[in-house]
């Protein structure tokens, strides 16, 4: 009986020893890092999908592509305005000038200025002019002379009576009672229709000529003046090839003052004063 108890006791101690050994080995092999990791609070990541509609500029910045924009509306030009009339015949927009001003007095075969007299006349080198063009005329002449060119002024202002006498004289000398040449273009105009009566023009040559003709286009003076006249506000009033418009023969000696803006536009676009004024007609 005592032996059985002893055996059971020994067996119990052996089992206890085995349990102790197993427990020790289990503790040694346990992953403490994992244990600590598992002990940390968990972070939950939630993905939320948001749709944003960018504006055109932002979209272009992000994608690098230029969003197509509707074309800018093209401003319409009033066809009855100076710009509209110019565009219709392929000309650039004309300057913003008041064509009712004194610089644009028109005297031609179909337009009479009757007995008009400039408000104030002033004499320059033996010729009278509307006093308002004296300074531009002086500058024009000086510009030519600074180039070493000879300048001679003739036929500035003529009064109504002077023009009437001049018309009769030229007609008699040339045997043309109506003042026209064989081609039907005027070589002299009746009183009231001559631009000389405006006081805004002058015949300018290198020397005195008793008879003027188209050969004067070959003079050094005309070659310079016809290129630079607009810088001083003047134009070649009766250009070659425009006789059907002006009704007057080609005169490479007759210069007319219209002011710088108008002169630039007229000369750059090969116009006559008549064609320029037509752009502004009501």
Q: Is 247 left (phi over 0), alpha (psi -120 to 50) or beta?
A: left
Q: Is 125 left (phi over 0), alpha (psi -120 to 50) or beta?
A: left
Residue in this structure with the two tokens 């990541």, named with its chain if needed: 45
Q: Is 251 a catalytic residue?
A: yes
Please spell the DSSP secondary structure of 188-228, one letter per residue: S--TTT-GGGGT-EEEEESS--SS--GGGGGSHHHHHHHHH
Both tokens assigned to 253: 């000696």
Report how far Cα 250 is from the mean position of its chain's Cα atoms.
Answer: 31
For residue 165, the tally of other CB atoms under 10 A from its CB is 12
Report d(CA 248, CA 4) in Å as an integer. Answer: 160
DSSP state at residue 119 = S
Catalytic residue among 125, 251, 274, 275: 251
Both tokens assigned to 174: 């040339």
Closest CA to 197 of 173, 236, 231, 167: 167
Report how far Cα 183 is from the mean position of its chain's Cα atoms.
Answer: 40
Q: Is 58 left (phi over 0), alpha (psi -120 to 50) or beta?
A: alpha
Name the strand (E) or helix (H) holding 38. helix 32-39
Write out the catalytic residue numbers.
Answer: 251
């Amino acid at each position: 009986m005592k032996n059985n108890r002893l055996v059971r006791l020994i067996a119990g101690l052996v089992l206890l020893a085995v349990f102790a050994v197993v427990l020790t080995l289990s503790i040694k092999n346990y992953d403490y890092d994992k244990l600590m990791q598992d002990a940390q609070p968990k972070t939950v990541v939630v993905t939320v999908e948001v749709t944003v509609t960018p504006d055109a500029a932002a979209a272009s910045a992000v994608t690098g592509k230029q969003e197509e924009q509707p074309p800018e509306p093209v401003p319409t030009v009033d066809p009855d305005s100076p710009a509209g009339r110019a565009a219709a015949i392929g000309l650039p927009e004309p300057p913003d000038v008041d064509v009712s001003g004194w610089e644009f007095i028109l005297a031609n075969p179909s337009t009479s200025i009757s007995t008009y007299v400039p408000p104030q006349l002033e004499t320059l080198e033996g010729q009278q002019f509307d006093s308002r063009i004296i300074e531009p005329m002086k500058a024009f002449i000086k510009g030519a002379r600074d180039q070493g060119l000879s300048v001679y002024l003739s036929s500035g202002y003529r009064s109504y009576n002077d023009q009437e006498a001049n018309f009769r004289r030229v007609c008699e000398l040339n045997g043309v009672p109506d003042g026209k040449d064989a081609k039907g273009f005027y070589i002299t105009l009746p009183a009231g229709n001559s631009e000389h009566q405006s006081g805004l023009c002058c015949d300018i040559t290198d020397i005195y000529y008793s008879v003027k003709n188209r050969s004067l286009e070959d003079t050094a003076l005309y070659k310079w003046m016809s290129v630079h006249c607009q810088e001083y506000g003047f134009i070649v009033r009766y250009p070659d090839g425009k006789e059907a418009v002006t009704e007057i023969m080609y005169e490479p000696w007759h210069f007319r003052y219209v002011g710088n803006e108008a002169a630039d536009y007229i000369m750059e676009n090969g116009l006559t004063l008549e064609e320029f004024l037509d752009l502004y007609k009501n």
